[in-house]
């Protein structure tokens, strides 16, 4: 039996206290971890909990960067093309380029997306 | 067919009965809520962008988990834990996430210790 108040202390004054104990389902995170490779044998109970916070930070960062793209396009609605632009413009999101490009290419016949990609210093 | 960066092919097993579609992604409602919280009140988020974010987050989990489990393999450990996740984030360029998550992990462990030392009183 866990005390109802025990979890709220976990988030007081810390990272992202806006939501409940875990804003993302831990069981689902664990399942995705398990499916990431055959060599993922055992996962400690704390790993999905850490990931739930890591995923929040990831979603927040990618959303913020995508919003900048939407604003540059003078729009108030976030489109998937904005996510693609943010991924392409951000080094640490390199691993997603194929995913967002593949997602985008499914929109056959869509308007040509002329993306103004800022120059990245790769030194 | 979705491409999967990083060589892990197990995520491609859509509709195979092993991985159900809904188990491959985090729930769109949870993801959308986090996105909404980071944007200005008048911002709108297209469903397609939420779906793209769902894909990106799952890829992020797989990407980081693979890095963490590789470290475990080299160190001949079988269980991926919170420290491995934090290390992998730093290794993959998400240094900005690793530090707050280490603090979060420390607080989580302290909470667990407190819970173990102070069982909730009954009555």
- Low-confidence winner among A1-15, A37-51, B15-29, B48-62 (lowest mean pLDDT): A1-15
- Low-confidence winner among A50-59, A104-113, B12-21 (lowest mean pLDDT): A104-113
Strand stretches in A2-110, DSSP E? 42-43, 77-78
Provide the pLDDT for residue B45: 96
Q: In A, which residues are within 8 Å of B109 by CB distance?
A: 46
Give the number of other CB atoms < 10 A from CB of residue B49: 24
The whole-angstrom separation of Cα A46 and Cα A49 is 5
The whole-angstrom separation of Cα B101 and Cα B57 is 17
Binned average pLDDT, 10 residues per bin, chain B of 123 residues? 41 50 85 92 92 95 94 89 95 92 87 82 64
* Nearest residue, CB atoms, B101 vs list A53, A60, A80: A53
Q: What is the CATH number of domain B22-115?
A: 1.10.20.10
Residues facing A78 on adjacent strands: B45
Closest CA to B68 of B87, B44, B48, B40: B87
Provide the pLDDT for residue A51: 95
The answer to whether the CB atoms of B80 and A60 lie below 8 A apart is no
Residues A78 and A112: beta-carbon distance below 8 Å: no
Provide the pLDDT for residue A73: 94
Provide the pLDDT for residue B57: 93
Q: In A, which residues are within 8 Å of B64 by CB distance?
A: 51, 54
Provide the pLDDT for residue A22: 60
**Shortest Cα–Cα distance, B36 to chain A (Å):** 9
* Nearest residue, CB atoms, B69 vs list A39, A51, A96: A39
When the pLDDT of each residue in chain A is averaged and rounded to a whole number, the result is: 75
Ordered by start, the domain boundaries in chain B are 22-115
CATH 1.10.20.10 is right for the domain spanning A26-102: yes
The answer to whether the CB atoms of B59 and A95 lie below 8 A apart is yes
Answer yes or no: is pLDDT of A77 > 80: yes
Question: For chain A, what percent of residues have pLDDT higher than 70?
Answer: 63
> What DSSP state is assigned to residue A91?
G
Residues A36 and A48: beta-carbon distance below 8 Å: no
Q: In A, which residues are within 8 Å of B14 by CB distance?
A: none
């Amino acid at each position: 039996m866990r005390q109802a108040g025990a979890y709220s202390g976990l988030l007081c004054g810390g990272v992202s206290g806006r939501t409940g104990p875990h804003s993302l389902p831990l069981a689902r995170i664990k399942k995705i971890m398990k499916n990431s490779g055959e060599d993922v044998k055992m996962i400690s109970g704390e790993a999905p909990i850490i990931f739930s916070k890591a995923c929040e930070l990831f979603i927040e960062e990618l959303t913020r960067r995508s919003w900048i793209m939407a604003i540059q396009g003078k729009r108030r609605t976030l489109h998937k093309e904005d996510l693609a632009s943010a991924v392409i413009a951000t080094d640490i999101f390199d691993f997603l380029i194929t995913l967002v490009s593949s997602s985008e290419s499914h929109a056959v016949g869509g308007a040509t997306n002329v993306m103004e990609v800022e120059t990245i210093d790769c030194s | 067919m979705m491409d999967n960066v990083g060589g892990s092919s197990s995520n491609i097993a859509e509709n195979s009965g092993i991985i159900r579609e809904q188990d491959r992604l985090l729930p769109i409602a949870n993801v959308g809520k986090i996105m909404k919280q980071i944007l200005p009140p008048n911002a709108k988020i297209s469903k397609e962008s939420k779906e793209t974010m769902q894909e990106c987050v799952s890829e992020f989990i797989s990407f980081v988990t693979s890095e963490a489990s590789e470290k475990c393999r080299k160190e001949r450990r079988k269980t991926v834990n919170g420290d491995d996740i934090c290390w992998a984030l730093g290794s993959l360029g998400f240094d900005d996430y690793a530090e707050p998550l280490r603090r979060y992990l420390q607080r989580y462990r302290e909470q667990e210790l407190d819970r173990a030392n102070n069982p909730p009183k009954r009555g």
